[in-house]
Structure 1
């Protein structure tokens, strides 16, 4: 009987050590998986969950709403305070705030992505807006805002015909023309149609 107790005790210790080793390996495996997640993957998960987030822009400006699309170098949000859509270059995102549950949920394994949408660059999207003559409001990194219509878009810049908000792009209403670098843009608000 004494031997039975000893072997049971040894089996218990061995099982406990194996369980501790397995838990350590699982924890290390999870740390490795998380180390490979990029911000676009987390944003894709937040978009799929229709989570409410607050995106921090330069100079402490905030935009609250839902992430609705993710592109190669941009995200689209449906702001809480308006009916339009905001395009935000990922380079302008300083942080993303959300509740703790959504923060943890954004670490879940990736939601399947639309490869076509995720390959669309900001230039591609702006060329489409130019083709459709969608009026926009551009917010620069410094917080200044301009209204107008995008005439054309290159790989790292676009041409803007500035006119009053709410008006269409007519030659007699254009006040100025200019080139704006993508790197200078914090967000692009599309007027609802």
Structure 2
């Protein structure tokens, strides 16, 4: 091989090496920028955005409530200040599933699989746009139950559960006609009336998993 040829090969090799180093540096800088951008995005991420993903995917989870309850559920809907979920019933059990309305103030946390947890971190391509349902307050949802005359079980933060039918739902409390579980609101079945503040509720259970 002649001297000029050797020189050309040398320079080609050198430039190839420099190009490789430059490409590696650019890639490292891009990866660093992407990582920093992701850290900033996660830092701004709120719980509502993650719950929106989990509810949209009907993720199964265990809800931990402030009264000490651990409820296995399938997440369904998100409101202004509440979650809607369907109770998970063991396979073969002769117990009907039920819908649960959970005030956000009674939720201590959720247990779910790692894949679902990571999935809830995904970027919201809709820019956090809320659905009409997400604008519904707990009182609005309870007024719908009252309108449909659906029997409910009220799980309280303190004290025994209450069974009955919601007669009306106001801004921060409801009126409950108390009757036995499984009964309908007939005059001869009602044994009393109670005013219950929303702040006293850990969960509202409705048999049969109706939709909101």
Q: Name the TM-score, length of structure 1 as normaliser.
A: 0.89
Equivalent residue pairs, number = 193
User: Is the deviation greater in 134-143 or in 85-94?
Assistant: 134-143
* 8 A contact 1:79–1:85 mirrored in 2: yes
Q: Secondary structure of 1:31's partner?
A: helix
User: Is the deviation greater in 171-180 or in 156-165?
Assistant: 171-180
Q: Secondary structure of 1:187's partner?
A: strand
Aligned to 2:164: 148
What is the CA–CA distance in structure 2 between the aligned matches of 1:179 and 1:116, rounded to whole Å?
29
Aligned to 1:35: 43
Q: CA RMSD in A?
A: 2.0
Deviation at 1:118, TM superposition (A): 0.7
What is the CA–CA distance in structure 1 between the aligned matches of 2:12 and 2:22, rounded to whole Å?
15
1:98 has 2:106 as partner: no
What is the CA–CA distance in structure 1 between the aligned matches of 2:72 and 2:122, rounded to whole Å?
22
Deviation at 1:75, TM superposition (A): 0.9
1:124 has 2:132 as partner: no
* 8 A contact 2:67–2:202 mirrored in 1: no
Unaligned runs of 5+ in 1: none
Aligned to 1:24: 32
Deviation at 1:5, TM superposition (A): 4.5
What is the CA–CA distance in structure 2 between the aligned matches of 1:43 and 1:16, rounded to whole Å?
38
Aligned to 1:54: 62
Aligned to 1:172: 188
Deviation at 1:91, TM superposition (A): 1.1
